[in-house]
Amino acid sequence: MPSVWENPAESALLGQVIEPSRRALVGGRDGIVRGARGVVIDDCEWMVRAISLADEAARLGEVPVGAILLVPDATGAHGESRVFLARNEKETRPDPTAHAEMLALRAAAATLGTWRVGGTLYVTKEPCLMCAGAIVAARVQRLVYGCDDPKAGAAGSIIDAFGSAAANHHVVVEGGVEADAAAAQLRAFFAARRGERRGPPGPSVL
């Protein structure tokens, strides 16, 4: 699905349709990205932008996870899509369900007026079981994620929710896109948090 992007994501747009007045789009209208102009963006570039959203989450003390949802625009010409941005906000809200994936799906459903969201979801980390269930329920057509989550990943690391016979919708899953950068981002966040919990070193006894 060809799409274009001019500037990196802005925090004020998280979880919302990107408005062309904010210069996030080239040639778009009403939050629509057009494939007819500008530079075509591939999976790696969308993931890099999702990683930038995760950076914003980390600066707010949130686990760094970012998500971008592209939904084909039913009213526009072929190749146009709406773009929804989200970052992890579980601590900020506070809300145990406020993962980046969930917020992107909610914003899309509210804006489009349907729970059948569809589209392609980019997320920096393998979704958990809650998010995997929501992705299936929202009829997302394609999931692209960055690094695996060996502790809670539901796309094959711990459980494969997308491959389960209980799933009533098939999602095409592609993992490992910009995996090294996404994993390094998470490692750095948790290393810094462990350092804060330990506090400064005590006085030397020598």
Q: Which residues are catalytic?
A: 101
Looking only at the bridges linking them, the beta strands covering 66-72 and 81-87 are antiparallel
Both structure tokens of 123: 């997320």
Ramachandran angles phi, psi of 85, nearest 5°: -110, 145
Both structure tokens of 32: 């629509």
Count Cα atoms within 13 angstroms, Cβ side, for 181: 17
CA dist., res. 16 & res. 25, Å (int): 13
Q: Which residue has the tokens 């009213």?
A: 75
Q: Which residue has the tokens 């989450």?
A: 57
β-sheet with 66-72: strand ranges across: 32-33, 81-87, 66-72, 120-125, 142-147, 172-174
